[in-house]
């Protein structure tokens, strides 16, 4: 006996380029391997997905390969491990230590990249009074120092204009130098030097492996397909959602 399918009023619903149909299904007389259904039963030409809800203590699953709805009965049991996890810990060799100190560096005050006389400052831009020759952003990351006022902090240069035999415009970050007619220089940061010492040697441990020891408890039955049985009773009628074209 074939399955009985009803379609709820208002179905199908259009979902993108697909149709969604809802209603109820009863498999009537069940045979091992499932009960065949066709797209036409749901008002469709193809079935992309069919979800059937649980009913009468049975789980229903649609097999798209065989185009059949299959019924399963769960045993209500469980599948639990019985045993313990054992971890194996292996010590590592002693470490040679870790350096403790700081990296220091100083401006190359005796070897200027550029130097000259006179400059004018407007907000964060410093324009040299004399002529310079430099490529675009050649001074980026360098430091501008006002020789006439040693107490002023050096100002880092973010960018500069490209000039040939003309005043250069330098964009600085931080507190810019005050306009001055004295000498100035543009320098780089010298090589970094580490100052400090190594810490003493030490050792440590880490977990390198773990393994489960025991056996699984399989006393609880897992879901299994029902055999030939009549599912015509109303209690086995289940709600479904079908999607297709």
The pLDDT tens digits of the residues spanning 99-152 come to 666 656 678 878 899 999 999 999 999 999 999 999 999 999 999 999 888 667
Do 83 and 215 touch, CB atoms closer than 8 A? yes
The pLDDT tens digits of the residues spanning 9-45 come to 988 999 889 999 999 999 999 989 999 999 999 999 9
User: Can you tell me the distance from the alpha carbon of 137 to that of 59, in angstroms, rounded to the nearest whole number?
Assistant: 72
Judging by DSSP bridges, how do beta strands 68-73 and 169-173 pair with one another?
Answer: unpaired
Name the nearest CA neighbour of 115 among 138, 127, 132. 132
DSSP states along 55-101: BTTEEEEEETTTTEEEEEE------EEEEEEEEEEEEPPPB---EEE
**CATH class entry, domain 4-76+221-244:** mainly beta
Which two three-digit tokens encode residue 209? 């492996």
């Amino acid at each position: 006996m074939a399955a009985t399918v009803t379609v709820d009023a208002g179905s199908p619903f259009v979902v993108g380029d697909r149709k969604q149909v809802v209603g109820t299904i009863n498999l009537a007389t069940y045979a091992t391997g499932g009960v065949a259904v066709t797209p036409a039963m749901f008002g469709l030409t193809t079935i992309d997905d069919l979800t059937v809800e649980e009913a009468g203590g049975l789980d229903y699953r649609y097999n798209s390969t065989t185009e059949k709805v299959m019924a399963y009965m769960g045993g209500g049991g469980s599948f639990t491990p019985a045993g313990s996890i054992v971890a194996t810990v292996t010590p590592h060799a002693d470490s040679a230590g870790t350096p403790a100190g700081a990296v220091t560096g100083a401006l190359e005050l005796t070897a200027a990249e550029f130097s000259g006389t006179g400059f004018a400052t407007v907000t964060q831009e410093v324009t040299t009074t004399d002529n310079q020759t430099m490529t675009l952003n050649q001074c980026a990351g360098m430091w501008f120092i006002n020789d006439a006022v040693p107490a002023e902090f050096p100002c880092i240069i973010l960018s500069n204009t490209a000039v040939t035999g003309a005043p250069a415009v330098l964009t600085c970050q931080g507190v810019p130098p005050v306009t001055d007619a004295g000498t100035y220089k543009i320098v780089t940061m010298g090589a970094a030097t580490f100052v400090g010492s190594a810490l003493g040697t030490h050792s440590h441990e880490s977990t390198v492996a773990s393994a489960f020891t025991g056996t699984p408890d399989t006393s609880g039955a897992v879901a299994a397909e029902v055999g030939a049985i009549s599912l015509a009773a109303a209690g086995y009628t289940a709600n479904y959602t079908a999607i297709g074209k």
